Amino acid sequence: MSKEKVAFIGIGVMGKSMAGHLLEAGYPVSVYNRTKSKADDLVARGATWADSPAAASADADIVITIVGFPADVEETYFGSEGIFQTMQPGGLVIDMTTSSPILAKRIASVASEKGIGALDAPVSGGDLGAKEARLSIMVGGDEASFERANPLFEIMGKNIQLQGTAGAGQYTKMCNQIAIAAGMVAIAESLAYAKAAGLDPKKVLASIETGAAGSWSLSNLAPRALDGNYDPGFFVKHFIKDMGIAIESATEMGLTLPGLNLAKALYDRVAADGGADDGTHALFRFYFEGKQVAG
């Protein structure tokens, strides 16, 4: 049985690896990205270039999107050159962007009207998780669409969970981002404290990362920060976007999250200081330089 044709829209830090895994697994893949050169490697490996989301979706069975911001998601699906202009009934759309749960529900509603399946399936694991095909994938949508998409998910990730109906994947990803946000502040403060106490932060890290304080961020991002490497596995500007979505949806639910509000305020300062395009562990540099106490 021939594999379904996949259109992959968004060839960024994570999308390039994710689309590459599908190519390696033998899926026919068409690709679109606003900056065409970012897709050159995939095209050289056998992907087909499309000039727009609409062109990519015209003859695709499954369309996967992982773009930057909710506004980008909206344009990708609903714009004049968007997916819903050409996607045929019987197709399936999967938005893997971390985006708004409300927008995910809207996409699912319009897709249903057009006879198209829809899933919101944001991911966690960063650039390394994408490269090593061990992403955590949090899915919202109906069971039939999930079962159809699961063979693709298993190529890109390891921990794959259907969380509920449309929007549930995005709500789950917000839970993930809330936990990370508070954790990053705690890790930065821990290592800044170690430095202020005259300790070697790398030796301190070796002691604490395997104990009760252990976390993915502590083991994977703290070493990068201590080496002065702030290259993005996930951009500060995108993390700020995620925290904003989480705060907005929490407010709608009547929930106050003071830890998340503090983390976002600190990351806003990182971005204002020129760190918007750094990795999220740039918060550590902000602490090491003492800027968190300014203003």
> What residue ranges do the domains of the chain occupy?
6-165, 171-293
What is the predicted pLDDT for the residue at 290? 74
* Mean pLDDT of the 262-281 span: 95
What is the predicted pLDDT for the residue at 294? 44
Query: What is the reported pTM?
Result: 0.90
Q: For 6-165, which CATH superfamily applies? A: NAD(P)-binding Rossmann-like Domain (3.40.50.720)
Q: Model confidence at 295, in pLDDT bands (50, 70, 90)?
A: very low
CATH 3.40.50.300 fits 171-293, yes or no: no
Is there a common fold for 6-165 and 171-293?
no
pLDDT-above-70 percentage for the chain = 98
The answer to whether 64 touches 16, Cβ cutoff 8 Å, is: no
| Number of other CB atoms surrounding residue 240 within 10 Å | 19
What is the predicted pLDDT for the residue at 269? 95
CA of 154: how far to CAs of 135, 144, 150, 205, 235, in Å? Answer: 9, 16, 6, 33, 25
pLDDT at 193 over 80: yes
What is the predicted pLDDT for the residue at 227? 93
What is the predicted pLDDT for the residue at 289? 82
Question: Residue with structure tokens 């300062």?
Answer: 269
In this structure, which long-range contacts are made by residues 258-265, counting pairs with CB atoms below 8 Å and at least 24 apart in sequence?
259/178, 259/181, 259/182, 259/185, 260/178, 260/181, 260/182, 262/185, 263/181, 263/182, 263/184, 263/185, 264/181, 264/240
Burial class (CB in 10 A: 0-12, 13-18, 19+), 257: middle
The secondary structure of the chain as a DSSP string is -PPPPEEEE--STTHHHHHHHHHHTT--EEEE-SSGGGGHHHHHTTPEE-SSHHHHHTT-SEEEE--SSHHHHHHHHHSTTSGGGTPPTT-EEEE-S---HHHHHHHHHHHHHTT-EEEE--EESHHHHHHTT-EEEEEES-HHHHHHHHHHHHHHEEEEEEEESTTHHHHHHHHHHHHHHHHHHHHHHHHHHHHHTT--HHHHHHHHTTSTT--HHHHHTHHHHHTT----SSBHHHHHHHHHHHHHHHHHTT---HHHHHHHHHHHHHIIIIITTSBTTHHHHHHHTTGGG--
What is the predicted pLDDT for the residue at 128? 87
What is the predicted pLDDT for the residue at 1? 67
pLDDT at 27 over 60: yes
What is the predicted pLDDT for the residue at 272? 95
The answer to whether 121 touches 154, Cβ cutoff 8 Å, is: no
- Each residue of 133-182: pLDDT tens digit? 999 999 999 999 999 999 999 999 999 999 999 999 999 999 999 999 99
Q: What does the mean pLDDT of the chain come to?
A: 95
| Among candidate residues 70, 63, 1, the one with its CA nearest the CA of residue 32 | 63
**CB contact set of 190 (below 8 Å; sequence gap of 6+):** 204, 208, 213
Q: How far apart are CA 90 and CA 256, in angstroms?
A: 41
What is the predicted pLDDT for the residue at 191? 94
Q: How far apart are CA 242 and CA 263, in angstroms?
A: 12
Question: Residue with structure tokens 């917000």?
Answer: 174
Burial class (CB in 10 A: 0-12, 13-18, 19+), 258: exposed
Q: Which residues form the catalytic set?
A: 173
